Structure 1
Amino acid sequence: MSMIRFEKVDVIFSKQPREALALLDQGLTRDQILKKTGQVVGVENANLDIERGEICVLMGLSGSGKSSLLRCINGLNTVSRGRLLIEHEGAEVDIASCSPATLKAMRTKRIAMVFQKFALMPWLTVAENVGFGLEMQHRPAAERKKLVDEKLELVGLSQWRDKRPDQLSGGMQQRVGLARALAMDADILLMDEPFSALDPLIRQQLQDELLVLQRKLHKTIVFVSHDLDEALKLGSRIAIMKDGRIIQYSKPEEIVLNPADDYVRTFVAHTNPLNVLCGESLMRPLQQCRHEGNEICVDQGRDCWLGLDDNNGVQCARQGGQDLKLQRWAPGDLVANLRREPTLVNVRIAMRDALQIRYQTGHKLVLEDNGQVVGILGDSELYHALLGKNLEKDDNNAAKPVQVQPAELSRVV
């Protein structure tokens, strides 16, 4: 069961949306419906599954419908048609058709929100702002103080608890808003462009802090952004929207490698692949490598071979007739300490690390997943990722190396 599921959701900003819905069914566009009826289509036919513990980023240009979709989750926007299901105590609640009492309970216990403009009450202290939602839940004073103290410490604002919002910087005010949402102890956290009003350096810092918090708290986060770099950095999956419709919903690396159409392709055209792609997205899969018996060819030019057992675990390695040593690298290890020999790495290795290891060792990388060799990562795969090209395939669907001139590569990096 998904934590949040949209099923054919339409949002029309009107108390009488039937005419606009009928025109949608006839295939009219958002602009055509606006001219005919004066009604605005906020979201059209949205289908989306958001799993527990992931960060789903809704992104697009201004007016694309991302905030309109987000605000359906806590009932701030009314679903005109379709179902919006949220997992609650082993069952599913349809926000689109639930009772006002159920909606109130979901807002106070299940769903919390962080706003773009902080939405702090200037007459309250930092601690009072953080505890405001707990007061609405009628929590005892001692329990409120304990939760407020915990969340202020979590976001690094304990020493500011007695200050007013106007005594804090923008980044600190946004931390107060985040602490207030976390204090509600809701499983679902909605964040509507929470960092867009902040300076770039503060924004990056808060992005990093959010990822650290997420590793501790494992919330289900729906995050609205118009910044692709932010979306790629934060998102477990990203929904790119245009004119109220979801154009593509995929993992970050899938969006960069396989954009669904020209609109998405334009979005990702200037993305730095080093910040997004990983070994699993780039590698030559094991089944596409050259096999001879129980050996696979790691590097044909060097005559390097890897012996595998029945479970594709590493048994031995050789270069021609000579035994070849292997080494392992894990995140946090110094690349400068690696020797000039093939390196075993995890399949999720970041492309930036893979390039450094390839340069340091002079050898292709052998990618493993739970002790099993799953692929090889070498120059062809890395160059094509840098150049924004897919590997060419031969008649057997195996990736073919393509020569890339150093001058061409230098223009990219």
Structure 2
Amino acid sequence: MSEAQPRIKVRGLTKIFGENPLPALRLLEQGKGRAEILAATGAVVGLQDVNFDVNEGEILVVMGLSGSGKSTCLRCINRLVEPTAGKVLVDDIDVTALSEKDLLAFRRTRFGMVFQQFALFPHRTILKNVEYGLEIQNVAPAIRTERALAAIEQVGLKGWDQHFPSQLSGGMQQRAGLARALALDPDVLLMDEAFSALDPLIRRDMQGELVTLQKRLKKTIVFVSHDLDEAIALGGRIVLMKDGRIVQQGFAADFLANPADDYVRRFVEHIDVLGVVTAGDAMREAACVAEWSTTADEALGRLEQSGDPAVTVVCNEGRFQGTVEAPTLRGAGTTPIRLLLSDQDACVVESATLTSAVAKLASGRGEIAVVGPDRHLRGVITNTDLVQALARRNGSSAGTAR
């Protein structure tokens, strides 16, 4: 499988707010802190030497508390906020070097933006709201209507195109805002606290629908959030910011296993580990695997030597078929084990969280298989493996906290 390629490269991004940022920039380069620079120059350091990549087709969540610089960072990507220093490369085009005319054209073709506030025109129907960006681009009326209706259907608002924003719920209005961005068919979606104004239940629904939509459209998305649970729900990499700098970046499991400092440790301490650690993280190599043509007697002999609670049965190509336990094998002689499968559902995919594994093991199974998307066997998990995986995660946090 080819390695994901960066669609966006952020390099040394720095933003200083103030009438004369250059003295503050020099102090920043000398290693002075935010408070010192504010006292000396009156300028505010919004971003300091921010570096990250956004891969083609991924959701990258930039997050942090209020004042961390996350929204400033997002708006520097399309230069709604002008960076003081550094570069933003989109498909190796330096956005920070574009003229105003070229930047405007670049935004119209490459970026779609969804804000926290729905920003819909109250006097326009949903269709006319969604058409707006295409209208600005002078797209022919018939074409823009066709594209707008397609985007409205993509976000689940089919049939609501002739309604006005005031006739829609908050969640539906946010869907309309997303449809307006999608109608432009942008390469990159920038989403600034897009679901923060929604009620918790609607917010979770929108998170799930964005993930589903992303699987189909495969856009490159930068999503700003202050909510770690939201970042985990979206399932992508996370860039955690504090005081204008990146503290740590990686997947949620990386933050749990190896928090960069006490700030990160406090940030993730409330996370439900079962909902973050994957079956692939917790699995081990199966001790007793047998192809489905193996006889019951032979399989029983292997099982008794292995100490595993069941035989993991695979086909000739290594795809998981099911499990067979010892009581089923005893007395079955030369019967092929493919005819004796006890449990064909004793598996989870390696990307599934341990919550799924717990549900399977809680039903009385002694062991479940971990499989790839093609059901090829990757490993197994028992209750003991599960406990050990949780102990490792909790131990790595507990052991470093003082």
Bucket of the pairwise TM-score, normalised by the shorter protein? 0.7 to 0.9
Letter in 1 for 2:370: L
Q: Identity of paired residues, percent?
A: 42
1:142 and 1:298 map into 2 onto residues whose CA distance is 71
The equivalent of 1:226 in structure 2 is 226
Deviates more, 1:213-222 or 1:339-348: 339-348
1:252 and 1:303 map into 2 onto residues whose CA distance is 32
Contact 1:298 1:376 in 2 (8 A): no
The equivalent of 1:398 in structure 2 is none
Deviates more, 1:342-351 or 1:20-29: 342-351
Give the 3-state SS of the residue equivalent to 1:116 in structure 2: coil
The equivalent of 1:214 in structure 2 is 214
1:97, CA displacement in angstroms? 1.6
2:111 and 2:249 map into 1 onto residues whose CA distance is 23
The equivalent of 2:181 in structure 1 is 181
Q: How does 1:6-405 map to 2 (within 5 A)?
A: 6-87=10-91, 92-284=92-284, 286=285, 301-302=307-308, 339=342, 343-369=346-372, 373-386=377-390, 389=393
Give the 3-state SS of the residue equivalent to 1:389 in structure 2: helix
* Cα deviation code 1:14-63 (max 9, x no counterpart): 35322222222222222221122111111111110101111011111001
Q: TM-score, normalised by structure 2?
A: 0.82
1:339, CA displacement in angstroms? 4.4
1:77 and 1:297 map into 2 onto residues whose CA distance is 64
Letter in 2 for 1:152: I
Give the 3-state SS of the residue equivalent to 1:190 in structure 2: strand
* Cα deviation code 1:232-282 (max 9, x no counterpart): 010311111111111111122222333222211111111112322211122
1:376 and 1:66 map into 2 onto residues whose CA distance is 40
1:125 and 1:299 map into 2 onto residues whose CA distance is 71
* Cα deviation code 1:2-22 (max 9, x no counterpart): 110111111112353222222
Contact 1:57 1:223 in 2 (8 A): yes
Deviates more, 1:56-65 or 1:364-373: 364-373
Letter in 2 for 1:45: D
1:368, CA displacement in angstroms? 3.5
1:326, CA displacement in angstroms? 8.3
Give the 3-state SS of the residue equivalent to 1:4 in structure 2: strand
1:141, CA displacement in angstroms? 0.7
- Mark the CA change 1:102 to 1:277 in structure 2 (over 3 Å): closer, same or farther: same
Deviates more, 1:109-118 or 1:342-351: 342-351
Contact 1:298 1:306 in 2 (8 A): no
1:349 and 1:113 map into 2 onto residues whose CA distance is 31
1:159 and 1:104 map into 2 onto residues whose CA distance is 33
Letter in 2 for 1:207: Q
1:199, CA displacement in angstroms? 0.8
Give the 3-state SS of the residue equivalent to 1:224 in structure 2: strand
Letter in 2 for 1:35: A
1:308 and 1:82 map into 2 onto residues whose CA distance is 53
- Mark the CA change 1:121 to 1:32 in structure 2 (over 3 Å): closer, same or farther: same
1:94, CA displacement in angstroms? 0.8
1:27 and 1:297 map into 2 onto residues whose CA distance is 63
The equivalent of 1:396 in structure 2 is none
The equivalent of 2:296 in structure 1 is none
1:161 and 1:306 map into 2 onto residues whose CA distance is 53
Letter in 1 for 2:170: G
Contact 1:326 1:344 in 2 (8 A): no
1:106 and 1:62 map into 2 onto residues whose CA distance is 30
Structure richer in helix, relative to its length: 2
- Mark the CA change 1:360 to 1:108 in structure 2 (over 3 Å): closer, same or farther: same
Contact 1:247 1:260 in 2 (8 A): yes
Contact 1:11 1:80 in 2 (8 A): yes
Letter in 2 for 1:139: V
2:260 and 2:378 map into 1 onto residues whose CA distance is 27
1:214 and 1:203 map into 2 onto residues whose CA distance is 16
- Unaligned stretches of 5+ in structure 2? 290-298, 397-402
Letter in 2 for 1:276: V
1:365, CA displacement in angstroms? 2.6
* Cα deviation code 1:126-155 (max 9, x no counterpart): 211111100111100110111111112222
- Unaligned stretches of 5+ in structure 1? 328-337, 393-413
- Mark the CA change 1:361 to 1:325 in structure 2 (over 3 Å): closer, same or farther: farther
- Mark the CA change 1:172 to 1:341 in structure 2 (over 3 Å): closer, same or farther: closer
Deviates more, 1:3-12 or 1:318-327: 318-327
Contact 2:232 2:252 in 1 (8 A): yes
1:342, CA displacement in angstroms? 9.8
The equivalent of 1:4 in structure 2 is 8
